[in-house]
Structure 1
Amino acid sequence: MSKDLLFEIGLEEVPARFIPAAIAQLKERMTQWLDGSRIAHGAVEGYATPRRLAVLVREVAEKQEDVQEEVKGPSRKIAQDEQGNWSKAALGFARSQGVNPEQFTFKELGGVEYIYATKSSIGVPTSEVLAEGLTGILHAMTFPKFMRWAAYDFKFVRPIRWLVAMYGTDVIEMEITDVKAGNMTRGHRFLGQAAEIVEPAAYVETLCGQHVIADIEERQRMILEQIDALAAEKQWRIAVKDDLLEEVLFLVETPTVLFGTFDPSFLNIPQEVLITSMREHQRYFPVLDEKGELLPYFVTVRNGGKDSLDVIAKGNEKVLRARLSDAKFFYEEDQKLEIKEAVSKLETIVFHEELGTVGDKVRRVRRLADTLAQKLSAPADTVESVSRAADICKFDLVTQMVYEFPELQGLMGEDYARKAGEKEEVAKAVFEHYQPRFSGDEVPSTLAGAIVSIADKLDTITGCFSIGIIPTGSQDPYALRRQAAGIVQIVLDRELSIGLSALFGIALDIHQNYGSMKRSAEEVRKDLHEFFGLRVKKLLSETLRYDVVDAVLSAGYDDVASAVARGTALMDAVQTGEAFKNTVESFNRVGNLAGKAVHASVNPDVFADAGERELYSAWQDVHQPYLDALGRRKAVEALTLAGQLTGAVTSFFDSVMVMAEDEGVRNNRLALLAVIHGDLKQFADFSKLVW
């Protein structure tokens, strides 16, 4: 027989951002406790609103499972003396297992006899352990922040106001902070009232009758359906951002969508400012037209029914008007600040206590960007734009708008720079130098933006590494992994002709001159190489097999675009199957003997067999075209050329004794294999491929 189990924790309003993790944790802890207590059960369902966390467990067995367990003890030789008396080791084992030594049995394992204790545990009724178990679960819950209330030592995310604990129709007797569990839940704070739950299965329906939609998925469906219906009715595009939707979802118990309006004159402010203000401050969804332009409307979700929606809308409009007025004020005031003055204020902002101010960082970024522009042979006008963009890339950090909304950094800089008369490429680069901001984000669309972005990110990474700040495990407070991945993405997507080692060299020279380095340049260079290697490996692993990734990276990844091209070509070739397997086997036979070469100088006059002459001729035919193809990142072409050696290699090993008795002949043959292997290993280490 089985019964359903319900456990609801009634709380004062919990911050929305805490709830998803909290309900997942409650479900996990409930499942672990039931399984650990040998109590069979069905599905564990989680429910959550701002005022409650609850789990409903289906078909919970009425009794723990009986268990009989056999535990291995010491060997018989240790457990008994020559007279058959039990040793201290055996008696200690018996006490630890709660059995009498006379209950021991003997079993042979690996030619040695051991004593075994058989423990039996009779399951107790589930109802007898539920109170202790649920109390333990509640005490074990963790949150980003805790609260204590009244004179209680107990702490939780918010004060507990009621508890529902039911096993079937029976109430589980338990108490926390003078709150006794019962079968009475509470409905919507304003629309509902206390209600009796007759059985766990009636939980959701009972709450629904009190204007509480406890089912998270159902509540989200209701919100989205209402938004879609409003959008269709008004012919709007309502921008629903997932993180905002999740937050709104856990702010309401009965969701009702409504809309309001704001003064169209606010549309003179950049729409990103208005959208950010609506989302971050008011939790509103912005309304766009078919072209993606902001309209003077907003959509919000009320925690309640449809009564007096016009009054609610007016209240929201009043609050939003104040917010947008603040934004308008900040925007207008910021434009009175000259860029030169804003840049000078960067000298008062500390970037890092060991790396100086933001002003120091900007000067390093300028030098790095200028050098990088020269290395890339950028056009003269782009070089000029790079210098100016690097000089002013951080100026908007001192504006009131960015102080209020840090996520608008770069975006406001672009707008203010454009209004101040800066070149379009410069203004664009001020925004783009932050890109990509996250995985999957766009890379800078302009060369100037790409160069300044690389310079900014590389300065941060190199600076941190130079003073010993290197990400370990999950710790990466300065987001260095994300910035390194951004550099790799920019270099790859824009097909920039510069290697990672060249980038490291530029940055290290600048930091050495700055004088902040606490570690040697070679140490930092080595760490940077490994750090970026992991980023390239992660990039390749998204689409390639692990062995293909390892093979390609073994040949080098300084040229990121080349590594990606070689990886893609090799993966395609591997998937062709047996034909390419034969080619790889021939390459590996070359590599196995190439390491024995004492020199890499091949003398055709020493050849004594047609097979080696044929292989040498085949290699000469493909050698330069192969290297040229690699240099142009034409990996498929290079691999095809290398594959043309397969027949000659096979014939060579079939007809030639490489380790000939004549030392000169032997070394010449090994040298031939070494030069061929030297070419092949520039593509990949084919020995790492797994078939």
Structure 2
Amino acid sequence: MSTFLLEIGTEELPADFARLALPQLEQQVKRDLEAARLSFRQVETTSTPRRLVVQVADLADVSPDLRDERKGPPAAQAFKDGVPTQAAIGFAKRCGIDPADLEVRETPKGPFVFAEVLEKGRPARELLAEVIPQWISALQGRRFMRWGVGESRFSRPVRWLVALLGTELIPVTLSGSDPVVQSGQTSRGHRLYSDAVAIPSADDYASALAAAGVVVNRSERASTIRTAVETSAAALDAVPDLPGELFEELTDLVETPLLIEGSVADHYLALPAEVLSTVMRAHQRYVPLYRKDADSDPLALDARKSLLARFLCIGNGLADATDTVRRGNERVLKARLADAEFFVQADRAVPSIDRRDQLQRVTFAEGLGSLLDRVERLEWLTDVLAEQLELPQDSVAHARRAAHLCKHDLVSQMVGEFPELQGVMGGKYLLAEGEPREVALAVLEHYQPKGAGDVLPSSVAGAVVALAERLELLLSIYAKGERPTGSSDPYALRRAGNGILQILWDQGWSLNLQTLLERATSHWAGLLPAFKVDASALADELGELLRQRLQSLLEEAGTDADLVQAVAGDGVSLTRVLADPGDARQRAALLRTLRSAGDLAAVQAVVTRAAKLATKGDLPTSVLSAQMVVDDNLFEKGSEAAMLEVLNGLEPIATGSDLDRYGQLAQGLIAGSSALANFFDGDDSVMVMAEDPAVRTNRLNLLGVLNNQASVLADFSRISG
């Protein structure tokens, strides 16, 4: 057994390519080694900005022989008078043996021809030489390129290849590359340390590169960066602003991490903290440092109470050049911050209300008018939401003002340069102009949540405008005729649907989305006559989108798929699902609790059986009272009376409006499960489909009422198990 090494050496790769390519490469290697019957202990993949690396520990030198028994045609077709027919000859040829070596064996279907095939094992060196080019060409990524006059495509030009099995070179040539790349035992070190690096064996790879200034193990580089940043921040009594995305990018941008501390001129701290941190993180890949006692006010107008006048960056150069690199980084950052300072000053010279008027000059989307038209639609929705949610008047006033001004910063110079600060700058400019804090905060928060796991609006006004913003997007884009398809969702409509539900749940609001959609689609049909909107059809489509988003969010929260279908699946009327999305979430949570406690199965068994028999009757699903449709004078068994008693106890719960009615209904079904089971299978059980039509109808009505009452909680027919 030997260690196998493959190094694909390239020009500097995009920072995100390795994270996409390494899982692909590992999967391909494992698949092909297993298919070739080459045993191994483990496969490891790693990368630096200039290489992708695979190492396989304890790889077998030769694959074992494989004896395979293959079944051929029936003996009657394979031989005629003891002479092989064309069927036998063809089968033998496919198996690579002589027809005389075929055997006839008895099977349950009669005599058949069999062949025993021996597939000889092959040397690992030979097999690897075949599959290595396939592994490289099969890698997928974004923005692949060609170079020279060759036809090869890769993220960046491939410049060298190291392929070793222990100390033995595996000969590989990448066809289609120009210049031609052939495997060797020479790698390349850090650009500033050395060039050619001899790799005597696969086991010596990491140490040879370490001597040439390359930390080839990605996890080791990540750990070094994390430790260096945390240590430096602790020494400054600060908290590093190092989100996961930036951390991963830094790990993939350097081969030898070198921590560098830099400083920011104090007067730049007069800028909002978000401006400084955005310039540092998004544009320069620096790590801002926040004070441990930082002011967490999202509307703070300057960074003095939150940011230190320091930053950290991860270099890839020589330690001796640290001072030079620091000065260079500080100069670059100073220029960026000077630009940001100019943009902020220029923006503050223009009142926000004047910027709102400028939205008329910016097109929102073809056929949907300008950004100002969009804001006016958003304001209408804010009014409708405030009416349906019955909010306090002061919150309504703040929400209306915020909706009026929420997009003004889209035409500001600052957001034009730093689009990720939309909403943030809008809120800060409004606060500086004397607008109420609640209005400024709502403008900032109406973009939240921006994605999965993002924070939700904390204020009532912010939540209302955030709902209006997402509803306006869905209504307008759907009215325009565009829909999310597969993985294509350029307007992030699914995310907008998720945001609506998450905001409602977070605020604890009960909102009838169907009523809202019906009213809004009728209004949109009048606003956008060119699209000839069918208001009813549009409301149904948007309702189904929200149903799908509800199902998705419940499953992401850990609810089993069958329970999701029971509360919000296609079998549940859209009217009920949209009447209050929080209601479906509450019922799903209760079903999860019942299942985990082991109480769901017994109730489900009885209710499902009742539902199947109830379909033989004609009781309307709206009937929840047994007294209306059941005649106890027709009872023949005590189990019927016991079942009626259970239904009478469930009726006030099923028809009530208590906050805990679902829990009470579940407990009522659990408590009555034995009486319900006895109706079907106990010593006092009955034949539901009795010969007497009146008795039969009476019993079917009992089951129908039970099914209707249980359906208030869930569609039990959708629950598996």
* Same topology, TM > 0.5: yes
Of residues 237-246 and 351-360 in structure 1, the stretch that sits farther from structure 2 once superposed is 351-360
2:215 alignment partner AA = I
Deviation per residue, 1:27-47 (Å, 9 max, x gap): 333333333333333322223
Matching of residues 574-589 of structure 1 within 5 Å: 574-577=595-598, 581-589=601-609
Match of 1:322 in 2: 335
Of residues 427-436 and 524-533 in structure 1, the stretch that sits farther from structure 2 once superposed is 524-533
Give the 3 Å change call, closer, same or farther, for CA 605–236 of structure 1 in structure 2.
closer
The SS at the match of 2:40 is coil
Distance, in Å, in 1 between the alignment partners of 2:525 and 2:168 is: 74
**Residue 207 of structure 1, CA deviation:** 0.9
1:480 alignment partner AA = L
Of residues 503-512 and 280-289 in structure 1, the stretch that sits farther from structure 2 once superposed is 503-512
1:426 alignment partner AA = V
1:533 pairs, out of 547, 562, 582, with 547
1:628 pairs, out of 639, 656, 660, with 656
Match of 1:234 in 2: 236
* Structure 1 position 475 matched with structure 2 position 473: no
1:126 alignment partner AA = A
> Is the Cα–Cα contact under 8 Å of residues 360 and 373 in structure 2 kept in the other structure?
yes
* Structure 1 position 291 matched with structure 2 position 299: no
1:587 alignment partner AA = V
Match of 1:39 in 2: 38
Match of 2:704 in 1: 674
Of residues 12-21 and 535-544 in structure 1, the stretch that sits farther from structure 2 once superposed is 535-544
Distance, in Å, in 2 between the alignment partners of 1:40 and 1:469 is: 52
RMSD of equivalent CA atoms: 2.8
The SS at the match of 1:120 is strand
The SS at the match of 2:183 is strand
The SS at the match of 1:124 is coil
> Is the Cα–Cα contact under 8 Å of residues 363 and 371 in structure 2 kept in the other structure?
yes
Matching of residues 154-193 of structure 1 within 5 Å: 154-176=152-174, 177-193=179-195
Distance, in Å, in 2 between the alignment partners of 1:197 and 1:548 is: 57
Matching of residues 143-542 of structure 1 within 5 Å: 143-176=141-174, 177-292=179-294, 293-513=306-526, 514-515=528-529, 517=531, 520-541=534-555, 542=557
> Is the Cα–Cα contact under 8 Å of residues 288 and 312 in structure 2 kept in the other structure?
yes
Distance, in Å, in 2 between the alignment partners of 1:679 and 1:577 is: 21
Deviation per residue, 1:532-585 (Å, 9 max, x gap): 22222233332333333333335553322211222222322333336x644444
TM-score calculated relative to the size of structure 2: 0.88
2:666 alignment partner AA = L
Deviation per residue, 1:110-134 (Å, 9 max, x gap): 5254434433222232333433332
1:624 alignment partner AA = P
Distance, in Å, in 2 between the alignment partners of 1:651 and 1:150 is: 82
Give the 3 Å change call, closer, same or farther, for CA 357–66 of structure 1 in structure 2.
farther
> Is the Cα–Cα contact under 8 Å of residues 66 and 121 in structure 2 kept in the other structure?
yes
- Structure 2: any 5+ residue segments left out of the alignment? 295-305
The SS at the match of 1:191 is coil
* Structure 1 position 597 matched with structure 2 position 596: no
- Structure 1: any 5+ residue segments left out of the alignment? none
Deviation per residue, 1:379-425 (Å, 9 max, x gap): 22333333222222222211222222221111111112222333322
> Is the Cα–Cα contact under 8 Å of residues 626 and 642 in structure 1 kept in the other structure?
no
**Residue 435 of structure 1, CA deviation:** 1.2
Match of 2:18 in 1: 19
**Residue 21 of structure 1, CA deviation:** 1.9
Give the 3 Å change call, closer, same or farther, for CA 410–91 of structure 1 in structure 2.
farther
Match of 1:125 in 2: 123
**Residue 232 of structure 1, CA deviation:** 2.4
Distance, in Å, in 2 between the alignment partners of 1:647 and 1:67 is: 60
Distance, in Å, in 1 between the alignment partners of 2:188 and 2:130 is: 24
2:588 pairs, out of 554, 561, 567, with 567
Distance, in Å, in 2 between the alignment partners of 1:137 and 1:589 is: 55
> Is the Cα–Cα contact under 8 Å of residues 626 and 641 in structure 1 kept in the other structure?
no
Distance, in Å, in 1 between the alignment partners of 2:60 and 2:232 is: 47
Percent identical residues = 36
Deviation per residue, 1:477-505 (Å, 9 max, x gap): 22222211111111112121212322322
Distance, in Å, in 2 between the alignment partners of 1:594 and 1:34 is: 58
Give the 3 Å change call, closer, same or farther, for CA 307–511 of structure 1 in structure 2.
same
Distance, in Å, in 2 between the alignment partners of 1:21 and 1:223 is: 21
> Is the Cα–Cα contact under 8 Å of residues 654 and 712 in structure 2 kept in the other structure?
no
* Structure 1 position 619 matched with structure 2 position 647: yes
Deviation per residue, 1:190-243 (Å, 9 max, x gap): 123422222110110111111111111111111112122212222221222111
1:277 alignment partner AA = V
Give the 3 Å change call, closer, same or farther, for CA 571–47 of structure 1 in structure 2.
closer
1:141 alignment partner AA = L
> Is the Cα–Cα contact under 8 Å of residues 467 and 500 in structure 2 kept in the other structure?
yes
**Residue 87 of structure 1, CA deviation:** 5.0
Match of 2:302 in 1: none
Of residues 390-399 and 282-291 in structure 1, the stretch that sits farther from structure 2 once superposed is 390-399
Distance, in Å, in 1 between the alignment partners of 2:61 and 2:343 is: 65
**Residue 371 of structure 1, CA deviation:** 1.1
> Is the Cα–Cα contact under 8 Å of residues 511 and 517 in structure 1 kept in the other structure?
no
1:683 alignment partner AA = L
> Is the Cα–Cα contact under 8 Å of residues 9 and 53 in structure 1 kept in the other structure?
yes
Aligned length: 687
Give the 3 Å change call, closer, same or farther, for CA 75–384 of structure 1 in structure 2.
farther
> Is the Cα–Cα contact under 8 Å of residues 169 and 199 in structure 1 kept in the other structure?
yes
